[in-house]
Structure 1
């Protein structure tokens, strides 16, 4: 029997089992502070959302909902704080995780040191990108799923409609997709600018621009619908929860008039005469329905993911062509 002693037997310590080895271990160790901070933020956010959902449930039960209709929606400070934090999350991840991922190594010379070893630039950067994207997905995916779980059963109590940014952008796949896109943009900006502070500032400006632009194109993610219903009738049930994009009145032959075409006249008699003269018989509404929300979210998320793939591919190509 061999009498050779292992290091563990000589020191009396049990050997440590590493879940990560090689390059993955190096990347996680290098960015452990950022990863742990993001995971801690995710855990705190998850606990906060679960707690606030319970608070809303208790408040609604206290007023007799759903047996009794709500007299007004709920817009507590905690809800506004939650929505603001979720809206800021993609920007925070892009600035503090994406923008610093490569630029810090370039500025401090770590990139040159690593890539002079046996690890290629492409393999080193791929490992860093994988861990960055995984961290972003876990963080944004968890809080988005929990906020969706909070909002869906109680959406009638929220002061924000489904098509408003605070709801549309923070539920379903949109928040993870937007966070990934902005994080990938931050990495690319950092790679090109090579300075941490400058990369963070430019990434912040780009992220704010993207979020503003996203709000402008949100309603273009689905084809609007048109519906006619009699002039003096109540809106049909299918319009409940709709996002109204435009409205007209129309004659029997389909001619459209502005919604206030006859309502601005001084007397009801004059208004009725205007309606009769123009043959107006219907209301016409152009709208997006609540049932279109999932398709709109996945369409938007698809475009954002394509952008993420393009930015990531460019980053890897750029790193392979030029020294870091």
Structure 2
């Protein structure tokens, strides 16, 4: 007489025995230890990373390549400076030999200034717009995960990738530029090539462009349209930032020694690396007169003296911003941009509670 055996029960028992044997003999414990030592992404984090892994890996690879290039260029520049005798010898006398390194600065800074725009268009705009357009958002909303968790994971991973990239590039570029920062006046530290690529500025501008692109994508719900509008938004952010950035500093005014009206005067000097703003004549009552329209340099010496005496010019003043204010200006401006970015993120969560899907 045969005995019937339930296949499912038998299989379960075999699986249990294998698990128990593996635990007692050691290999199972080794596997658990290995998993503990090498944590892996799981859940929503894994899903978001896998969905956008091509963009994330591209960003990280480009960061590594650009960092390696800047490290190489700094090594070349330092070799030249050491052979030249810097800082004992003035860099003004090394115009010809130093030009290739200025060209390297220019090529790198051109790419660095475009990073916020590229990240906003290629990462920010499609981050949610693609899910809304192809219906993935509805599928995710039907699962046990909440919309806020999905949105938070998306924004967190994108923000982490952007922050790591921009912080790394900003720090390496500042390290490259720092040896000549106070010694080469032909480099304007207020220009976007240097002011926007060091310190917290690239991080702030990139995060605003990316999260602004995410918001645009959520509103438009079409990937291509969101990318086009985000391009305009990111360019507008750069333009507004460039227009207002000098107002972040405190203007310093240097005044020449007073002279008698009609007497030749010497314009006040400013630090070599300072950003010049304006130069004016000062009359006896303290009023500032425009240099270009008052007693212009094209007049003959006698006519200039007569003009200055008639205008009661007794001195001159120069307005400038010293390079020592660069860091404080950057942090002040970046804090404003960070606040705007926080407002965008808050609005994304507010919008996402009802209208994200």
Query: 1:242 matched to which residue of 2?
Result: 274
Residue 340 (structure 2) pairs with residue 313 (structure 1): no
Q: Determine if the alignment matches structure 1 residue 64 to structure 2 residue 91.
A: no
Which region of structure 1 is more displaced relative to structure 2, 12-21 or 122-131?
Answer: 12-21
Query: SS of 1:211's equivalent?
Result: helix
User: In the TM superposition, what is the alpha-carbon distance from 1:100 to its structure 2 partner?
Assistant: 1.0
Quote the offset at 1:9 in angstroms. 5.1
What CA distance in whole angstroms lies between the structure 1 residues aligned with 2:346 and 2:174? 31
2:111 to 85, 107, 122: 85
| CA distance 1:270–1:323, change in 2 (3 Å) | closer
Whether 1:227 aligns to 2:254 is yes
* Among candidates 80, 92, 107, match of residue 133 of structure 2: 107
1:46 Cα shift?
A: 0.9
Tell me the CA shift for residue 92 of structure 1.
Answer: 1.1
Change (3 A) 1:284 1:24: same
How far off is 1:39 after superposition? 1.0
CA contact under 8 A between 1:96 and 1:200: conserved in structure 2? yes
In structure 2, the partner of 1:280 is 313
Residue 145 of structure 1 and its aligned partner are, at CA, apart by 0.8
Instruction: Provide the C-alpha distance between the structure 2 equivalents of 1:120 and 1:3, rounded to a whole number of angstroms.
Output: 35
Question: Are 1:6 and 2:27 counterparts?
Answer: no
Pairing 1:76-155 to 2, within 5 Å after superposition: 76-155=102-181
The answer to which of 168-177 and 268-277 deviates more is 268-277
Q: Which moved more, 1:110-119 or 1:279-288?
A: 279-288
Task: Provide structure 2 residue ranges, at least 5 long, that are not aligned to the other structure.
Answer: 1-14, 258-263
Runs of 4+ in 1 over 4 A off after TM superposition: 7-10, 12-16
Give CA-to-partner distance per residue, 1:61-104, whole Å, 9 cap, x none.
Answer: 33332211122363544322201110111111111111111111
Compare 245-254 and 36-45 and name the one that shifted more.
Answer: 245-254
Question: Does residue 37 in structure 1 map to residue 63 in structure 2?
Answer: no
- Distance in 2 separating the partners of 1:239 and 1:140: 31
Distance 1:5 1:235 in 2: 88
- Taking a change above 3 Å as real, the CA distance of residues 285 and 173 of structure 1, as seen in their structure-2 partners, is same
For residue 159 of structure 1, report the CA deviation from its aligned partner. Answer: 4.3
Aligned to 2:42: 21
1:200–1:240 distance in 2 versus 1, CA, 3 Å: same
Tell me how far apart the structure 2 counterparts of residues 266 and 159 of structure 1 sit (CA, whole Å): 30
Where does residue 202 of structure 1 map in the other structure?
229
Residue number in structure 2 paired with 1:297: 330
CA separation in 1, counterparts of 2:310 and 2:207?
57
CA distance in structure 2 between the aligned counterparts of 1:297 and 1:31, rounded to whole angstroms: 31
Deviation per residue, 1:38-64 (Å, 9 max, x gap): 111111111111111111112223333
* 1:20 alignment partner, SS class: coil
Give 1:254's aligned residue.
286
Closer, same or farther: CA 45–118 of 1 in aligned 2, 3 Å? same
Q: TM-score, normalised by structure 1?
A: 0.91
Q: Return 5+ residue gaps in structure 1 as ranges.
A: none
Note if contact 1:23-1:124 (Cα within 8 Å) is conserved in structure 2. Answer: yes
CA distance in structure 2 between the partners assigned to 1:289 and 1:37 by the alignment: 39
Cα 1:114–1:181 shift into 2, 3 Å: same
**1:184-240 residue CA offsets vs partner (Å, 9 max, x unmatched):** 11110111111111111111121112212221111111232222113734634x533
Match of 1:51 in 2: 72
Q: 1:217 corresponds to which residue? A: 244
Structure 2-normalised TM-score?
0.83
Q: Once structures 1 and 2 are overlaid, which stretch shifts more, 240-249 or 43-52? A: 240-249
Contact 1:103-1:194 at 8 Å conserved across structures: yes
Distance 1:7 1:235 in 2: 87
Compute the RMSD of aligned alpha carbons. 2.4
